[in-house]
Amino acid sequence: MMIRIRGRVGDWPVDLEIELDAADWAGLGQILPEVQTISSPAVKTPTAVPVDTLWQAAQDLLRQAGEISGPELLGQLEALAGNVQAAKRLVVRLRHCVQVEVKNGADAPVYRWIG
């Protein structure tokens, strides 16, 4: 049996073929018992794109609040998303959403659901 490895290492193309006989495979199986023989490469079947539940939850949060300041919105989205980076992405997404109006408040922007 033969193993073929193709890819790149930096700018260098790699195309390796390793030939193993039955004794080599048996020895390899003793060293790595969790390795299983695969008859054909695994093929990933495309799946339907899942609904972005976090985005829906962010919209629902703003819809229910009606109007909310930017820092308060970010805090609530951080609690919802679990981290600041995801919360900031949701704030940017809300800022550009057709159903959302962003006004300049006294100290921070105010997000208002208009949809």
Cα 89 from Cα 82, distance rounded (Å): 12
For residues 27 and 78, membership in a common domain is answered with no
Query: Phi and psi at residue 81, in whole multiples of 5°?
Result: -85, -25
With beta carbons less than 8 A apart as the criterion, state whether 67 and 112 touch.
yes
Q: Please tell me whether the overall predicted TM-score, pTM, comes out greater than 0.75 for this model.
A: no
For residues 20 and 57, membership in a common domain is answered with no
Asked, for residue 40, whether it belongs to a domain, the answer is no
- Number of structural domains the chain divides into: 2
H/E stretch holding 32: none
User: Which residue range(s) make up the domain with 21?
Assistant: 2-31
For residues 73 and 21, membership in a common domain is answered with no
Mapping DSSP to helix (H, G, I), strand (E, B) and coil, where does residue 70 land?
helix
Which pairs count as long-range contacts for 83-88, CB under 8 Å and 24+ apart, including other chains? 86/54
For residues 58 and 96, membership in a common domain is answered with yes
For residues 26 and 69, membership in a common domain is answered with no
User: In tens digits, what is the pLDDT along the chain, a chain of 115 residues?
Assistant: 677 778 888 888 888 887 878 888 777 777 766 555 555 555 555 544 344 888 999 999 999 999 999 999 999 999 988 889 989 999 999 999 999 999 999 999 999 999 8
Domain CATH code at residue 93: 1.10.10
